[in-house]
Structure 1
Amino acid sequence: MPRLVIIYGTGFGNTGIMAKAIEEGAKSRGVDVVMKKILDAVPEDVENADAIAIGTPTYKAAAMPNIINFVKKLADKPVKGKVGAAFGSYGWSGEGAGIVSDMLKSYGMDVIDPDLRIKRTPEDEGIEVCRELGKLLADRIK
């Protein structure tokens, strides 16, 4: 069964809401989903993944530092050619997801563009957009 791994960090829970909706969308397409908070994740978690989604809120006009450190470690993992996506919530500027997306692309991943950014807490429409991203990721690896 194809596998999607979702790794995310969250400051106020908003990116976590997004991650859960992405998981729901992917599972609705029959894909195995492993979802971990960044504090519980290790780079080896992505080795058996067909797709990888990384979530980060924007923190000081960048991705969360622990997300950046995690994604840097993926450069040494077999991620080239895997489907990837970046997503995140933001309060002001929203660059975090774009930074992660660019990093994943630099490792040769097939990254879905544009990255998904939602301002503050996802409402019904935003949650549905996240579910659609999960479905898209699932469809790309089936």
Structure 2
Amino acid sequence: MKKVSVIYWSGTGNTQKMAEAIAEGASLDGVAVSLISVDKASHEDVLNSNALALGCPSMGDEALEEEEMEPFIHSLEGENLAGKPLALFGSYDWGDGQWMRDWTERMKNQGAALVDNGLIIQSTPDDAGEAKCKELGAKLASAAR
């Protein structure tokens, strides 16, 4: 059975809502989906998955959350992510998405195979935003190898 891990950090619940919709979209026949808060995630969750979604809102000066998500992402550097299907997502309140462009470039440099551009949604996802999240989840599940 193919495994998809959706690992996220959420401060206000907006990115968690995105994660839940991505997990729902990835729940296709024959795909087991794990929805995991980053404080409970492990390297095994990443390495044992056939595809991976990582979510974090924009924080401060358009950066990843510094206490849990940034250390987790940093700890993945050096792991073999070559060719692993990956989706990035997160919510934001202001700015133009620079944190997502930086994160996308960083993960490409790790060899991950991004299935789409990083999905960003301002504040709480509405129905259209949730639909985009579900589409991203389905695309990720289809790319799982």
Cα RMSD for the two superposed structures: 1.4
Unpaired segments ≥5 residues, structure 1:
none
Deviation at 1:29, TM superposition (A): 4.5
Paired amino acid for 1:117 = I
Aligned residues: 142
CA distances 1:19-62 after superposition (whole Å, capped 9, x unpaired): 00000000035411111101111222211111111000000111
2:6–2:36 CA contact under 8 A, matched in 1: yes
Identity %, equivalent residues: 37
In 2, the alpha carbon distance for the partners of 1:6 and 1:99 equals 20
Unpaired segments ≥5 residues, structure 2:
none
In 2, the alpha carbon distance for the partners of 1:58 and 1:115 equals 12
Q: Aligned runs of 1:1-142 on 2, under 5 Å?
A: 1-60=1-60, 61-65=62-66, 66-93=68-95, 94-141=97-144
Paired amino acid for 2:3 = R
1:57–1:64 CA contact under 8 A, matched in 2: yes
TM-score by length of 1: 0.93
1:9–1:67 CA contact under 8 A, matched in 2: yes
Q: Any idea what SS the aligned residue of 1:25 has?
A: helix
Q: Any idea what SS the aligned residue of 1:59 has?
A: coil
